[in-house]
Amino acid sequence: MKKVFLGLVVGVLFSVPALACLNGTTKILANGTLLYEDYEGFVPHGHEFGSAEHLKEILISLEKGYAKTKDMDYLSDKGYILVIQGKYQEAIELYKKIESIEPGRYSTASNIGTAYELTGNNLEALKWIEKSINISSKSHFYSEWIHVNILKAKIKGEKYITSGFLIGKDFGKDSFPKSDMDNDSLEALRQQLYFQLNERMFFVKPEDKIVARLLFDLGNLSYLLGDRDEATENYKLAKEYGFHDPVLKERMKFYSPPVIEHVEKKVVKEIKFQTKKSRRSQLMGIIVSVFALFFSGLIIFIFRKKIFPKLIS
266 and 294 part of one domain: no
Per-residue pLDDT, 13: 37
Torsion sign (Cα): 207, 139, 277, 264: positive
Range of the structural domain that residue 180 is part of: 157-274
Torsion sign (Cα): 260, 266, 267, 272: positive
206 and 290 part of one domain: no
220 and 285 part of one domain: no
266 and 306 part of one domain: no
210 and 300 part of one domain: no
Determine, yes or no, domain membership for 121: no
Q: Which of 169, 172, 192 is nearest to 181 (CA)?
A: 169
Per-residue pLDDT, 277: 46
174 and 204 part of one domain: yes
Determine, yes or no, domain membership for 26: yes
Determine, yes or no, domain membership for 146: no
166 and 258 part of one domain: yes
Per-residue pLDDT, 26: 63
184 and 234 part of one domain: yes
Per-residue pLDDT, 39: 74
Q: Domain with 259 in it: what CATH number?
A: 1.25.40
Determine, yes or no, domain membership for 135: no
- Chunk the chain into consecutive blocks of 10 residues (it has 313) and report each block's average pLDDT, rounded to whole numbers: 44 33 59 86 92 96 97 96 98 98 97 98 98 94 96 98 98 95 97 96 97 98 95 96 95 64 48 47 53 66 62 53
Determine, yes or no, domain membership for 43: yes
Determine, yes or no, domain membership for 234: yes
Determine, yes or no, domain membership for 189: yes
Q: Which of 165, 83, 160 is nearest to 125 (CA)?
A: 83
Per-residue pLDDT, 309: 61
Per-residue pLDDT, 235: 97
226 and 185 part of one domain: yes
235 and 282 part of one domain: no
Determine, yes or no, domain membership for 296: yes
Per-residue pLDDT, 37: 84
292 and 241 part of one domain: no
Per-residue pLDDT, 290: 58
Counting the structural domains of the chain, the total is: 2
161 and 255 part of one domain: yes
